[in-house]
Structure 1
């Protein structure tokens, strides 16, 4: 299933990808505006994922005070993520998967518990909020704390419509999403 869904999202044309990026930027702007987030974790697209740069750049140009951060592979806790502040002038480096991430700087780390919203890429999703990722478990391990606390970031999956499936198998360690945003729908779970 993971392979078929990755093929489907990578098969989208450049125009379909651009449309998805703009449509999701609009959907996110109206959906998230009510929450008035201060700290939002996003991601840089890879492997056919929806591009969030139109959303991020729109907020950089506005007078809104949203601090963006990006996930970085944790240098000590294997299989976990850190979130580092992200701005237009942030120095970037490619990680072991070839994905750009901010250069590790301790003073730029944003504690995961202080994030208001985490925008997460996904390979597949169902209407129950189950998320199929790339298979590494990075987000599930990093967000395992959310099962034990009341105050936690809102977890929003970002996907193309072709990534929806009827049902996904779930494991006890899978962290469910609070919402899923595609170019045509916003599912609040």
Structure 2
């Protein structure tokens, strides 16, 4: 019998291969469906800080969704990889230059304000119907969520994935943080 870490690695590789197999056109259509499902439906107060992400590899492109949330009054930020252990969230301001921010990501530069997001739109490798998720294996989001909670904050976590990334069950470990909801091309599911 394998341990949870090994099981997660197998599931991660399997689901990312399925995601990678989606054509660019399929990913675009699914990403636009996500905008339609959550652009006007996601509940938040004007001025609340929402962390999104710019897509890398075969991730969903939630930039149109982020633009809609900003138009509704959200204050946006993006994760920035500081080192192998840490990500911070820098404010995304219209017109500010984007720079390479580590691990193939792009985002606001060091002049941008560091924010504490109240809602995190979280990329992932796999998820199940109980809201458990498998990330990319580095634990960046788990540690960032722990740091936010240590500050007394309880950020809402919304996974971003394609339907093909759902599995019957994710082997949960004590450090794992469950999602409040997941957004796919089929809709926004609250757990």
Q: Following the alignment from structure 2 to structure 1, what is the Cα–Cα distance between the partners of residues 133 and 173?
A: 11
- The corresponding residue for 2:75 is 67
Moved more, 169-178 or 91-100: 91-100
Pair 142,74 (structure 1): closer, same or farther in 2 beyond 3 Å: same
Q: Following the alignment from structure 2 to structure 1, what is the Cα–Cα distance between the partners of residues 102 and 118?
A: 28
Q: What SS is found at the alignment partner of 1:31?
A: coil
Q: What SS is found at the alignment partner of 1:82?
A: strand
Contact 2:145 2:155 in 1 (8 A): no
**Structure 2 length-normalised TM:** 0.86
- CA deviation string 1:113-141 (max 9, x = no partner): xx221100011000111111110000001
- The corresponding residue for 2:93 is 87
Contact 2:40 2:68 in 1 (8 A): no
- The corresponding residue for 1:9 is 19
Contact 1:40 1:69 in 2 (8 A): yes
Contact 1:73 1:82 in 2 (8 A): yes
- The corresponding residue for 1:96 is 102
Q: Following the alignment from structure 1 to structure 2, what is the Cα–Cα distance between the partners of residues 74 and 159?
A: 24
Residue 35 (structure 1) aligned with residue 44 (structure 2) = yes
Task: Note the residue ranges of structure 2 that are not aligned, 5 or more in a row.
Answer: 1-10
Q: What SS is found at the alignment partner of 2:79?
A: strand
**Structure 1 length-normalised TM:** 0.86
Q: Following the alignment from structure 1 to structure 2, what is the Cα–Cα distance between the partners of residues 67 and 147?
A: 20
Contact 1:130 1:170 in 2 (8 A): yes
- CA deviation string 1:26-84 (max 9, x = no partner): 2122331x333521100011121110111123345x3x321110001135xx4121100
- The corresponding residue for 2:114 is 109
Pair 146,94 (structure 1): closer, same or farther in 2 beyond 3 Å: closer
Task: Note the residue ranges of structure 1 that are not aligned, 5 or more in a row.
Answer: none
Query: RMSD of the TM alignment (CA)?
Result: 1.9
How many residue pairs end up in the alignment? 180
